Amino acid sequence: MQNLTQGSPTKLIATFATPILLGAIFQQVYAFIDAAVVGRFLGVGSLAAVGSPGSLVFLLMGLSWGGSAGLAIPIARAFGAGDLAAVRRFAAAGTYVSVGIAAFITIVGTVFARDLLTLMNTPPEILDESTIFLTTLLGGAAATVALNFLIATIRALGDSRTPLYFLVGSSGLNAVLVTALVGGAGWGVAGAAAATVLSHLVTVIALLFVIRRRMPALQLRREDWIDGRASLAEPLRIGIPMGLQMSTIAVGTLSVQVAVNGMGATTVAAYTAVLRLDNLAVVPLMAFGVAMVTYVAQNRGAHQWRRIRVGVFRTCLVGAGVAVVLGFSLMFTAPTIAGWFVGSDQAQVLDYTRTFFLVNGGLYAILSTLFILRNAVQGMGLASVPTIASLGETLARVLAALVLVTNFGFVGVALAAPLAWLGGLIPIGHAWLRQLGKLKRLEAEQDAGLAVLPLSDDLNLSLLDSGLLDLSGIDTTDAFGPSADPRPTTRELALA
């Protein structure tokens, strides 16, 4: 576990984000291997069948990806404040919410798989394989939801290395399984989905074992489960809107996928290859965002206002620089990499890939800023503004699918993402500027000696007993009442 409320903000964020980056890269590597195995062993049609449900998977699993990040925010805030009882209580509450999310995804994804794919205008020649893939993948949604929540919870405590180790192991296992089940056992596209589910299940079991042995802050007791049921309001207030934000964004992505599906199986295969590359490209940018939500939440819990402001500003600068380098690199290398999936003889697929990154490559800095500021705003506890931003992203993608794709073909597909980023950044940027003003006012109050320091009962008492906290000379009458015990409780201790 790592406390992100002390030390150089830039160094801490970089150190915390690096394992997140490496873990996400390994996840994308197995996605590469998955696409390459399916494309090489089963052909371009099967690659399209695996890629076609991608936006639908994003729509449903977005509830888990965004929801898990939201459920971890109260945990990070409690850890930053030194309240371990609240950490366990919110972890239990998050578990309850995650069970509900998993049940919803599994039911919708398995019962209505073919109907949903038909509504997406999936080409008839790949509909059967797409249905098999989607049903198998979402039938094991519980394992993926559990993995997302455990990783988000561990990161909330400032530990990004443990998730890295397990994500690397999961990615390696997935690569082995997809090769064995698709290439060896002949399971077809079902083997690709089963490999993902099995690797996630094994990783969840291993993580629970490590938590039981080495992470006392997450070892829940009977009373924690009881208190967790009574503390569902805060995780639900933040977690569900963040989950819906991801799903709302997925609606826009889904509209683009529907437009692509109408362009034929070859175009679907090209879009699948493009998304694999695009997902890998945005991994470093996303890692900064994931690190930012924990950093901001912990420092908010500790009332370290200046650290929040400085950390967000510096991360935006670093993220923009990384985005420029990545974007321009892909402009030249993307077609070659896409050839690994489908073979160098698929000229139309390679041409579409080149078009996509010529449009998107120079604009990744917008996405980097959006990731960082959105997570910073969420770390500050705001849930409504990111939801509005997600609606802006969705509207931009829907308009692109209806207007640009129809008139400009694959160029319109390429333009959809940058327009969505701008649609999301406008409300997020406005919200962050407002938060920045509040942070500066709180800094001024802190410098004037009017700020407050949050301490938990256990930490307050231990500081008093050890003599490190001396209340002599501090009038506690106003803060705690005329008959209060002079030892501070969960209230906030006024600084003299």
Q: Are 330 and 277 in contact (CB under 8 A)?
A: yes
Q: At what angle do helices 347-360 and 305-342 cross, to 10 degrees?
A: 160
- Global pTM reads 0.69
> What per-residue confidence (pLDDT) applies to 345?
62
DSSP string, 279-313: HHHTHHHHHHHHHHHHHHHHHHHTT-HHHHHHHHH
Question: Do the beta carbons of residue 55 and residue 62 sit within 8 Å?
Answer: no
Looking at residue 117, what is its pLDDT? 87
493: helix, strand or coil: strand
- Asked whether the predicted pLDDT for residue 464 surpasses 50, the reply is no
User: What does the pLDDT look like over 328-339, one tens digit per residue?
Assistant: 888 888 777 766
30 vs 443, higher pLDDT: 443
pLDDT at residue number 178:
86
The fraction of the chain above a pLDDT of 70, given in percent, is 88
For residues 298-304, average pLDDT: 87
Encoding tokens for residue 66?
């965004």
Give the start-end residues of each E strand in 364-458.
452-454
| Interatomic CA distance for residues 452 and 442, integer angstroms | 10
Res 346: pLDDT: 67
Can you list the alpha helix ranges (DSSP code H) found in 140-221? 141-156, 161-178, 189-214
Cβ distance 352 to 338 under 8 Å? no
Q: Which pLDDT score is estimated for 444?
A: 87
Tokens of 101: 């999310």
Q: Give the range among 78-92, 207-221, 268-282, 429-443 with minimum mean pLDDT.
A: 268-282
What pLDDT digit, counting tens, does each position of 141-170 carry?
999 999 999 999 998 888 888 988 998 888
pLDDT at 477: 35
Give the angle 60-61-64 at the CA atoms, nearest 5°. Answer: 120
Tokens of 48: 């399209």
Quick one: how far is CA 235 from the chain centroid? Answer: 16
Grouping H, G, I as helix, E, B as strand and the rest as coil, residue 349 is: helix
pLDDT in tens, 184-225: 787 888 888 899 899 999 999 999 999 998 888 888 988 989
